[in-house]
Structure 1
Amino acid sequence: MDDTNFETDAGNPSRRAFILTATSLAALTLAGCARRAPDEPRRPRLRRLRRLRERIAARPEPNLYPALLNEQFPIDAIPPGKLPKKFHRQRVPFDTAEKPGTVIVDTGSFYLYHVEDGGTAMRYGVGLGRQGFEWSGRARIAWKRAWPTWTPPEEMIKREPDLAKWSAENGGMPPGLDNPLGARALYIFQDGKDTLYRLHGTPEIFSIGKAVSSGCVRLVNHDIIHLYDRVRPGSAIIVR
Protein backbone atom coordinates (compact mmCIF):
# COMPACT_ATOMS: atom_id res chain seq x y z
CA MET A 1 0.00 0.00 0.00
CA ASP A 2 1.41 3.44 -0.93
CA ASP A 3 1.10 6.63 1.10
CA THR A 4 -1.78 7.89 -1.00
CA ASN A 5 -3.91 4.84 -0.35
CA PHE A 6 -3.13 5.04 3.40
CA GLU A 7 -4.37 8.61 3.66
CA THR A 8 -7.44 7.69 1.69
CA ASP A 9 -8.19 4.72 3.98
CA ALA A 10 -8.41 7.08 6.95
CA GLY A 11 -11.80 8.11 5.68
CA ASN A 12 -13.02 4.54 5.52
CA PRO A 13 -15.72 3.84 8.20
CA SER A 14 -13.99 0.71 9.49
CA ARG A 15 -10.68 2.51 9.59
CA ARG A 16 -12.27 5.43 11.46
CA ALA A 17 -13.87 3.04 13.94
CA PHE A 18 -10.48 1.46 14.59
CA ILE A 19 -8.90 4.85 15.27
CA LEU A 20 -11.76 5.92 17.59
CA THR A 21 -11.55 2.64 19.48
CA ALA A 22 -7.80 2.97 19.92
CA THR A 23 -8.17 6.57 21.05
CA SER A 24 -10.88 5.59 23.57
CA LEU A 25 -8.72 2.82 24.95
CA ALA A 26 -5.80 5.21 25.34
CA ALA A 27 -8.04 7.72 27.11
CA LEU A 28 -9.31 5.05 29.47
CA THR A 29 -5.78 3.92 30.16
CA LEU A 30 -4.71 7.47 30.93
CA ALA A 31 -7.82 7.99 33.05
CA GLY A 32 -6.97 4.82 34.93
CA CYS A 33 -3.47 6.15 35.70
CA ALA A 34 -4.85 9.51 36.74
CA ARG A 35 -7.70 8.01 38.75
CA ARG A 36 -6.08 8.02 42.23
CA ALA A 37 -3.51 5.88 43.88
CA PRO A 38 -4.82 3.39 46.43
CA ASP A 39 -3.68 5.55 49.34
CA GLU A 40 -5.03 8.84 48.02
CA PRO A 41 -8.27 8.77 50.06
CA ARG A 42 -6.03 8.98 53.17
CA ARG A 43 -4.22 12.10 52.01
CA PRO A 44 -6.86 14.68 53.05
CA ARG A 45 -6.99 13.06 56.49
CA LEU A 46 -3.21 13.04 56.76
CA ARG A 47 -3.10 16.68 55.74
CA ARG A 48 -5.69 17.51 58.40
CA LEU A 49 -3.68 15.64 61.02
CA ARG A 50 -0.52 17.42 59.95
CA ARG A 51 -2.22 20.82 60.19
CA LEU A 52 -3.60 19.89 63.61
CA ARG A 53 -0.13 18.92 64.84
CA GLU A 54 1.24 22.18 63.51
CA ARG A 55 -1.48 24.17 65.29
CA ILE A 56 -0.83 22.34 68.56
CA ALA A 57 2.92 22.90 68.24
CA ALA A 58 2.29 26.59 67.58
CA ARG A 59 0.06 27.06 70.61
CA PRO A 60 1.60 29.00 73.49
CA GLU A 61 2.27 27.05 76.67
CA PRO A 62 -0.45 27.33 79.31
CA ASN A 63 0.09 30.40 81.44
CA LEU A 64 1.18 29.03 84.81
CA TYR A 65 1.77 32.45 86.27
CA PRO A 66 -1.13 34.80 85.49
CA ALA A 67 -2.21 37.70 87.67
CA LEU A 68 -3.92 36.42 90.84
CA LEU A 69 -6.52 39.10 91.38
CA ASN A 70 -8.63 37.25 93.96
CA GLU A 71 -5.88 37.07 96.55
CA GLN A 72 -6.03 39.19 99.71
CA PHE A 73 -3.21 41.17 98.13
CA PRO A 74 -3.45 40.84 94.31
CA ILE A 75 -0.34 39.34 92.74
CA ASP A 76 0.97 40.46 89.37
CA ALA A 77 1.52 38.00 86.54
CA ILE A 78 5.08 36.81 86.01
CA PRO A 79 6.16 38.15 82.61
CA PRO A 80 7.29 35.52 80.06
CA GLY A 81 11.01 34.90 80.35
CA LYS A 82 11.27 36.41 83.82
CA LEU A 83 11.42 33.00 85.52
CA PRO A 84 13.82 30.62 83.73
CA LYS A 85 11.84 27.84 82.06
CA LYS A 86 13.74 25.10 83.89
CA PHE A 87 12.28 26.43 87.15
CA HIS A 88 8.69 26.48 85.92
CA ARG A 89 6.32 24.32 87.91
CA GLN A 90 5.84 20.94 86.23
CA ARG A 91 5.00 17.30 86.89
CA VAL A 92 7.98 15.00 86.40
CA PRO A 93 8.79 11.29 86.80
CA PHE A 94 10.23 10.78 90.28
CA ASP A 95 11.52 7.52 91.71
CA THR A 96 11.57 7.52 95.51
CA ALA A 97 10.79 5.26 98.44
CA GLU A 98 9.22 8.21 100.27
CA LYS A 99 5.45 8.10 100.52
CA PRO A 100 3.17 10.44 98.56
CA GLY A 101 2.78 13.82 100.22
CA THR A 102 6.44 14.05 101.23
CA VAL A 103 8.26 17.26 100.34
CA ILE A 104 11.85 16.79 99.17
CA VAL A 105 14.21 19.72 98.63
CA ASP A 106 17.22 18.98 96.44
CA THR A 107 19.64 21.77 97.31
CA GLY A 108 22.08 20.71 94.58
CA SER A 109 19.61 21.46 91.79
CA PHE A 110 17.44 24.14 93.46
CA TYR A 111 14.32 22.00 93.07
CA LEU A 112 11.54 21.11 95.47
CA TYR A 113 9.55 17.92 94.80
CA HIS A 114 6.12 17.17 96.18
CA VAL A 115 5.82 13.37 95.88
CA GLU A 116 2.67 12.03 94.20
CA ASP A 117 1.17 8.59 93.60
CA GLY A 118 2.26 6.66 90.53
CA GLY A 119 5.93 7.55 90.40
CA THR A 120 5.61 11.27 89.74
CA ALA A 121 6.18 14.49 91.64
CA MET A 122 5.29 18.12 91.18
CA ARG A 123 8.55 20.00 90.82
CA TYR A 124 9.14 23.64 91.70
CA GLY A 125 12.16 25.91 91.39
CA VAL A 126 13.39 27.34 94.71
CA GLY A 127 15.83 29.76 96.24
CA LEU A 128 17.91 28.53 99.19
CA GLY A 129 20.03 29.67 102.12
CA ARG A 130 23.30 31.38 101.36
CA GLN A 131 26.59 30.07 102.71
CA GLY A 132 26.49 29.79 106.48
CA PHE A 133 22.70 29.56 106.54
CA GLU A 134 22.16 26.14 104.99
CA TRP A 135 20.02 23.54 106.67
CA SER A 136 19.42 19.89 105.85
CA GLY A 137 17.76 16.90 107.43
CA ARG A 138 14.35 15.31 107.95
CA ALA A 139 11.55 17.21 109.65
CA ARG A 140 7.85 17.84 109.24
CA ILE A 141 5.59 20.65 108.20
CA ALA A 142 3.77 21.39 111.44
CA TRP A 143 1.37 24.03 110.20
CA LYS A 144 0.84 26.60 107.48
CA ARG A 145 -0.49 30.11 107.05
CA ALA A 146 -1.87 32.21 104.21
CA TRP A 147 -0.52 35.76 104.10
CA PRO A 148 1.45 35.27 107.32
CA THR A 149 2.93 37.79 109.72
CA TRP A 150 6.72 37.79 109.66
CA THR A 151 8.68 37.90 112.91
CA PRO A 152 12.46 38.04 112.42
CA PRO A 153 14.39 35.82 114.85
CA GLU A 154 16.49 37.50 117.53
CA GLU A 155 19.68 36.40 115.81
CA MET A 156 18.60 38.22 112.66
CA ILE A 157 17.72 41.35 114.59
CA LYS A 158 21.19 41.33 116.12
CA ARG A 159 22.68 41.24 112.64
CA GLU A 160 20.25 43.80 111.31
CA PRO A 161 19.10 46.12 114.13
CA ASP A 162 16.69 47.96 111.81
CA LEU A 163 14.48 44.89 111.93
CA ALA A 164 13.73 45.44 115.62
CA LYS A 165 10.53 47.28 114.68
CA TRP A 166 9.19 43.92 113.45
CA SER A 167 10.19 41.97 116.57
CA ALA A 168 7.78 39.63 118.36
CA GLU A 169 7.35 42.27 121.05
CA ASN A 170 6.19 44.72 118.36
CA GLY A 171 3.81 42.27 116.77
CA GLY A 172 5.89 41.35 113.73
CA MET A 173 5.54 42.59 110.18
CA PRO A 174 1.94 42.49 108.92
CA PRO A 175 0.99 40.51 105.81
CA GLY A 176 1.46 42.09 102.42
CA LEU A 177 3.36 42.00 99.18
CA ASP A 178 6.49 43.36 100.88
CA ASN A 179 6.39 40.79 103.66
CA PRO A 180 9.44 38.47 103.31
CA LEU A 181 7.23 35.38 103.72
CA GLY A 182 5.10 36.31 100.74
CA ALA A 183 1.65 34.88 100.10
CA ARG A 184 2.02 31.62 102.07
CA ALA A 185 4.29 30.02 104.64
CA LEU A 186 4.75 26.40 105.75
CA TYR A 187 6.45 26.04 109.14
CA ILE A 188 9.14 23.39 109.62
CA PHE A 189 9.47 21.61 112.97
CA GLN A 190 12.05 19.01 113.97
CA ASP A 191 11.74 16.84 117.09
CA GLY A 192 8.78 18.95 118.17
CA LYS A 193 10.68 22.25 117.99
CA ASP A 194 10.37 25.11 115.55
CA THR A 195 13.47 25.16 113.35
CA LEU A 196 12.67 28.79 112.42
CA TYR A 197 12.97 27.69 108.79
CA ARG A 198 10.04 28.06 106.42
CA LEU A 199 8.85 27.22 102.97
CA HIS A 200 7.49 30.55 101.83
CA GLY A 201 6.66 32.81 98.92
CA THR A 202 8.66 35.66 97.49
CA PRO A 203 8.13 38.39 94.90
CA GLU A 204 11.89 38.30 94.19
CA ILE A 205 11.76 36.13 91.10
CA PHE A 206 15.46 36.65 90.43
CA SER A 207 16.31 34.71 93.62
CA ILE A 208 14.95 31.38 92.33
CA GLY A 209 17.84 29.08 91.52
CA LYS A 210 20.20 30.98 93.83
CA ALA A 211 21.47 30.73 97.41
CA VAL A 212 20.41 34.07 98.86
CA SER A 213 18.09 33.50 101.83
CA SER A 214 18.75 33.20 105.55
CA GLY A 215 18.09 29.47 105.42
CA CYS A 216 14.46 29.33 104.32
CA VAL A 217 13.30 27.72 101.10
CA ARG A 218 11.56 30.27 98.91
CA LEU A 219 9.27 29.82 95.91
CA VAL A 220 7.62 32.44 93.71
CA ASN A 221 4.25 33.39 95.19
CA HIS A 222 2.34 31.53 92.47
CA ASP A 223 4.17 28.30 93.29
CA ILE A 224 3.93 28.53 97.07
CA ILE A 225 0.17 29.01 96.69
CA HIS A 226 0.01 25.93 94.46
CA LEU A 227 2.10 23.89 96.93
CA TYR A 228 0.22 25.22 99.99
CA ASP A 229 -3.07 23.94 98.61
CA ARG A 230 -1.64 20.42 98.30
CA VAL A 231 0.52 19.91 101.40
CA ARG A 232 -1.12 18.66 104.56
CA PRO A 233 0.11 19.67 108.02
CA GLY A 234 2.22 16.86 109.45
CA SER A 235 3.76 15.98 106.07
CA ALA A 236 7.39 14.94 106.06
CA ILE A 237 9.98 17.26 104.58
CA ILE A 238 13.49 16.21 103.62
CA VAL A 239 16.18 18.73 102.75
CA ARG A 240 19.20 17.08 101.22
Structure 2
Amino acid sequence: MKVLIIEDELAASENLTYLLHSIDKDIEVVNVLDSVKSSLDFFSKSHDAELVFMDIHLADGISFEIFEQARIDIPVVFTTAYNQYALKAFKFNSIDYLLKPIDKDELADALQQFKVQNKGKGIDDQQVEGLLDLIQTKRKKFKTTFLVSRRDELIPLKTEKIAYFRIDTGVVKAVTSDNKAYSVDDKLEDIEEELDSHLFHRANRQFIINKDAVVNLKTYFNGKLIVEVKPVSDERIIISKAKATEFKDWLGS
Protein backbone atom coordinates (compact mmCIF):
# COMPACT_ATOMS: atom_id res chain seq x y z
CA MET A 1 0.00 0.00 0.00
CA LYS A 2 1.27 3.46 -0.91
CA VAL A 3 0.43 6.21 1.55
CA LEU A 4 0.69 10.00 1.48
CA ILE A 5 1.03 11.93 4.75
CA ILE A 6 0.01 15.59 4.94
CA GLU A 7 1.11 16.89 8.33
CA ASP A 8 3.01 20.02 9.40
CA GLU A 9 4.31 18.69 12.73
CA LEU A 10 7.50 16.70 12.21
CA ALA A 11 7.05 14.64 15.37
CA ALA A 12 3.51 13.70 14.35
CA SER A 13 4.49 12.67 10.81
CA GLU A 14 7.46 10.66 12.09
CA ASN A 15 5.28 8.93 14.65
CA LEU A 16 2.63 8.09 12.05
CA THR A 17 5.28 6.71 9.70
CA TYR A 18 6.72 4.61 12.52
CA LEU A 19 3.29 3.23 13.43
CA LEU A 20 2.43 2.44 9.80
CA HIS A 21 5.65 0.49 9.31
CA SER A 22 5.21 -1.32 12.63
CA ILE A 23 1.75 -2.45 11.49
CA ASP A 24 2.73 -3.42 7.95
CA LYS A 25 6.29 -3.31 6.65
CA ASP A 26 5.00 -3.31 3.07
CA ILE A 27 3.40 0.12 3.51
CA GLU A 28 5.32 2.74 1.55
CA VAL A 29 5.09 6.40 2.51
CA VAL A 30 5.45 8.03 -0.90
CA ASN A 31 5.72 11.57 0.46
CA VAL A 32 5.27 13.74 3.55
CA LEU A 33 3.87 17.22 2.87
CA ASP A 34 3.42 20.04 5.37
CA SER A 35 1.35 22.69 3.59
CA VAL A 36 -1.65 23.40 1.40
CA LYS A 37 0.67 24.70 -1.31
CA SER A 38 2.86 21.58 -1.49
CA SER A 39 -0.26 19.37 -1.41
CA LEU A 40 -1.82 21.23 -4.34
CA ASP A 41 1.42 20.79 -6.25
CA PHE A 42 1.42 17.06 -5.46
CA PHE A 43 -2.15 16.49 -6.63
CA SER A 44 -1.69 18.58 -9.78
CA LYS A 45 0.59 15.83 -11.11
CA SER A 46 0.15 12.12 -11.62
CA HIS A 47 0.85 10.06 -8.50
CA ASP A 48 0.48 6.52 -7.21
CA ALA A 49 -0.70 7.21 -3.66
CA GLU A 50 -3.61 5.01 -2.61
CA LEU A 51 -4.50 6.53 0.75
CA VAL A 52 -3.98 9.94 2.41
CA PHE A 53 -3.53 10.72 6.09
CA MET A 54 -4.26 14.43 6.36
CA ASP A 55 -4.05 16.83 9.30
CA ILE A 56 -6.62 19.64 9.41
CA HIS A 57 -4.36 22.55 10.35
CA LEU A 58 -1.30 22.90 8.10
CA ALA A 59 1.57 25.37 8.01
CA ASP A 60 -0.18 27.73 5.59
CA GLY A 61 -3.88 27.11 6.17
CA ILE A 62 -6.63 24.54 6.66
CA SER A 63 -6.34 21.34 4.65
CA PHE A 64 -9.90 21.64 3.38
CA GLU A 65 -8.60 24.37 1.08
CA ILE A 66 -6.88 21.61 -0.88
CA PHE A 67 -10.24 20.16 -1.89
CA GLU A 68 -11.38 23.54 -3.21
CA GLN A 69 -8.55 23.64 -5.75
CA ALA A 70 -7.72 20.02 -6.48
CA ARG A 71 -9.53 16.76 -7.08
CA ILE A 72 -8.71 14.12 -4.48
CA ASP A 73 -9.87 10.81 -5.91
CA ILE A 74 -8.41 8.52 -3.26
CA PRO A 75 -9.62 7.86 0.31
CA VAL A 76 -8.68 10.35 3.03
CA VAL A 77 -8.25 9.68 6.74
CA PHE A 78 -8.09 12.92 8.69
CA THR A 79 -5.82 13.15 11.72
CA THR A 80 -6.97 15.77 14.18
CA ALA A 81 -6.37 17.11 17.65
CA TYR A 82 -10.01 18.24 17.78
CA ASN A 83 -12.10 16.19 20.13
CA GLN A 84 -15.77 16.50 21.08
CA TYR A 85 -17.18 18.44 18.18
CA ALA A 86 -14.81 16.82 15.70
CA LEU A 87 -16.27 13.43 16.56
CA LYS A 88 -19.76 14.65 15.76
CA ALA A 89 -18.61 16.45 12.64
CA PHE A 90 -16.76 13.50 11.17
CA LYS A 91 -19.48 11.01 12.03
CA PHE A 92 -22.09 13.30 10.55
CA ASN A 93 -20.12 13.58 7.33
CA SER A 94 -19.21 9.87 7.22
CA ILE A 95 -15.49 10.55 6.92
CA ASP A 96 -12.74 8.46 8.45
CA TYR A 97 -10.66 10.14 11.13
CA LEU A 98 -8.09 9.45 13.83
CA LEU A 99 -7.69 11.55 16.96
CA LYS A 100 -4.20 12.62 18.01
CA PRO A 101 -2.15 11.23 19.57
CA ILE A 102 -2.77 8.36 17.17
CA ASP A 103 -3.34 4.99 18.77
CA LYS A 104 -1.71 2.04 17.00
CA ASP A 105 -4.75 -0.22 17.32
CA GLU A 106 -7.07 2.45 15.91
CA LEU A 107 -4.65 3.05 13.04
CA ALA A 108 -4.56 -0.68 12.31
CA ASP A 109 -8.37 -0.74 12.26
CA ALA A 110 -8.44 2.18 9.80
CA LEU A 111 -5.99 0.40 7.49
CA GLN A 112 -7.99 -2.81 7.68
CA GLN A 113 -11.18 -0.94 6.89
CA PHE A 114 -9.50 0.60 3.86
CA LYS A 115 -8.32 -2.80 2.63
CA VAL A 116 -11.74 -4.40 3.09
CA GLN A 117 -13.80 -1.59 1.57
CA ASN A 118 -11.20 -0.54 -0.99
CA LYS A 119 -13.23 2.58 -1.70
CA GLY A 120 -10.93 3.90 -4.39
CA LYS A 121 -12.48 7.36 -4.25
CA GLY A 122 -12.17 10.57 -2.33
CA ILE A 123 -14.69 12.52 -0.27
CA ASP A 124 -17.22 14.75 -2.01
CA ASP A 125 -17.69 18.52 -1.90
CA GLN A 126 -20.66 18.43 0.46
CA GLN A 127 -18.70 16.47 3.04
CA VAL A 128 -15.82 18.95 2.93
CA GLU A 129 -18.14 21.95 3.15
CA GLY A 130 -19.93 20.47 6.16
CA LEU A 131 -16.69 19.90 8.02
CA LEU A 132 -15.29 23.30 7.12
CA ASP A 133 -18.40 25.05 8.44
CA LEU A 134 -18.22 23.19 11.74
CA ILE A 135 -14.49 23.74 12.21
CA GLN A 136 -14.66 27.45 11.44
CA THR A 137 -17.79 28.28 13.43
CA LYS A 138 -16.91 26.44 16.64
CA ARG A 139 -14.15 27.54 18.94
CA LYS A 140 -12.63 25.31 21.54
CA LYS A 141 -13.29 26.46 25.11
CA PHE A 142 -11.02 24.87 27.65
CA LYS A 143 -12.25 24.02 31.11
CA THR A 144 -10.95 26.37 33.80
CA THR A 145 -12.53 24.67 36.83
CA PHE A 146 -13.27 21.06 37.74
CA LEU A 147 -15.83 20.11 40.36
CA VAL A 148 -13.99 17.52 42.44
CA SER A 149 -14.84 15.57 45.55
CA ARG A 150 -13.03 14.87 48.79
CA ARG A 151 -14.76 12.93 51.53
CA ASP A 152 -18.29 14.38 51.62
CA GLU A 153 -17.44 17.69 49.93
CA LEU A 154 -17.64 18.97 46.37
CA ILE A 155 -14.92 21.52 45.66
CA PRO A 156 -14.38 23.81 42.63
CA LEU A 157 -10.74 23.26 41.67
CA LYS A 158 -8.96 25.60 39.25
CA THR A 159 -7.41 23.71 36.34
CA GLU A 160 -4.18 25.71 36.62
CA LYS A 161 -3.60 24.24 40.10
CA ILE A 162 -3.70 20.65 38.88
CA ALA A 163 -0.27 19.04 38.39
CA TYR A 164 -1.62 15.88 36.81
CA PHE A 165 -4.62 13.60 36.47
CA ARG A 166 -4.12 9.91 37.11
CA ILE A 167 -6.10 6.71 37.38
CA ASP A 168 -5.78 5.26 40.88
CA THR A 169 -7.40 1.84 41.37
CA GLY A 170 -9.98 2.63 38.74
CA VAL A 171 -10.76 6.13 40.02
CA VAL A 172 -9.59 9.32 38.29
CA LYS A 173 -7.74 11.61 40.67
CA ALA A 174 -6.67 15.22 40.20
CA VAL A 175 -3.40 15.82 42.03
CA THR A 176 -2.64 19.47 42.75
CA SER A 177 0.73 21.21 42.84
CA ASP A 178 0.58 21.15 46.66
CA ASN A 179 0.08 17.37 46.57
CA LYS A 180 -3.61 17.11 47.40
CA ALA A 181 -5.62 14.45 45.59
CA TYR A 182 -9.28 14.81 44.65
CA SER A 183 -11.62 12.39 42.93
CA VAL A 184 -12.99 13.46 39.57
CA ASP A 185 -16.24 11.99 38.31
CA ASP A 186 -15.11 11.84 34.67
CA LYS A 187 -13.21 9.47 32.45
CA LEU A 188 -9.62 10.41 31.61
CA GLU A 189 -10.59 10.52 27.93
CA ASP A 190 -13.32 13.09 28.63
CA ILE A 191 -10.99 15.20 30.77
CA GLU A 192 -8.40 15.22 28.00
CA GLU A 193 -10.94 16.74 25.63
CA GLU A 194 -11.54 19.65 28.00
CA LEU A 195 -7.90 20.63 28.52
CA ASP A 196 -5.62 22.95 26.59
CA SER A 197 -3.23 20.60 24.79
CA HIS A 198 -0.47 23.21 25.00
CA LEU A 199 -0.56 22.98 28.80
CA PHE A 200 -1.60 19.36 29.39
CA HIS A 201 -0.48 16.18 27.65
CA ARG A 202 -1.76 12.61 27.73
CA ALA A 203 1.40 10.78 28.74
CA ASN A 204 -0.11 7.30 28.67
CA ARG A 205 -3.33 5.50 29.54
CA GLN A 206 -3.00 6.40 33.23
CA PHE A 207 -1.72 10.00 33.25
CA ILE A 208 -2.44 13.48 31.89
CA ILE A 209 0.38 15.83 32.90
CA ASN A 210 0.56 19.59 33.33
CA LYS A 211 3.70 20.93 31.64
CA ASP A 212 4.57 22.94 34.76
CA ALA A 213 4.66 19.75 36.82
CA VAL A 214 7.44 18.11 34.79
CA VAL A 215 10.80 18.12 36.60
CA ASN A 216 12.85 16.11 34.11
CA LEU A 217 12.90 13.21 31.66
CA LYS A 218 15.04 10.10 31.98
CA THR A 219 15.86 7.65 29.23
CA TYR A 220 14.48 4.16 29.66
CA PHE A 221 15.04 0.93 27.79
CA ASN A 222 13.77 0.47 24.22
CA GLY A 223 13.65 4.21 23.57
CA LYS A 224 11.07 4.89 26.26
CA LEU A 225 11.12 7.83 28.67
CA ILE A 226 10.41 8.18 32.37
CA VAL A 227 8.81 11.46 33.42
CA GLU A 228 9.59 12.80 36.86
CA VAL A 229 6.95 15.19 38.18
CA LYS A 230 6.35 17.40 41.17
CA PRO A 231 4.65 16.43 43.37
CA VAL A 232 6.24 13.00 43.03
CA SER A 233 4.00 10.23 41.74
CA ASP A 234 4.15 6.88 43.50
CA GLU A 235 3.61 5.23 40.12
CA ARG A 236 6.29 5.47 37.44
CA ILE A 237 5.18 7.56 34.46
CA ILE A 238 6.47 5.94 31.27
CA ILE A 239 6.27 7.40 27.76
CA SER A 240 6.34 4.80 24.99
CA LYS A 241 8.97 4.91 22.26
CA ALA A 242 6.29 5.79 19.69
CA LYS A 243 5.24 8.87 21.67
CA ALA A 244 8.62 9.91 23.08
CA THR A 245 9.48 12.40 20.33
CA GLU A 246 6.02 13.92 20.41
CA PHE A 247 6.21 14.33 24.18
CA LYS A 248 9.63 16.00 24.03
CA ASP A 249 8.41 18.37 21.31
CA TRP A 250 5.36 19.25 23.42
CA LEU A 251 7.50 19.84 26.49
CA GLY A 252 9.87 22.09 24.56
CA SER A 253 7.17 24.10 22.81
- TM-score tier by shorter-chain length is under 0.3
TM-score by length of 1: 0.23
TM-score normalised by L of structure 2 = 0.22
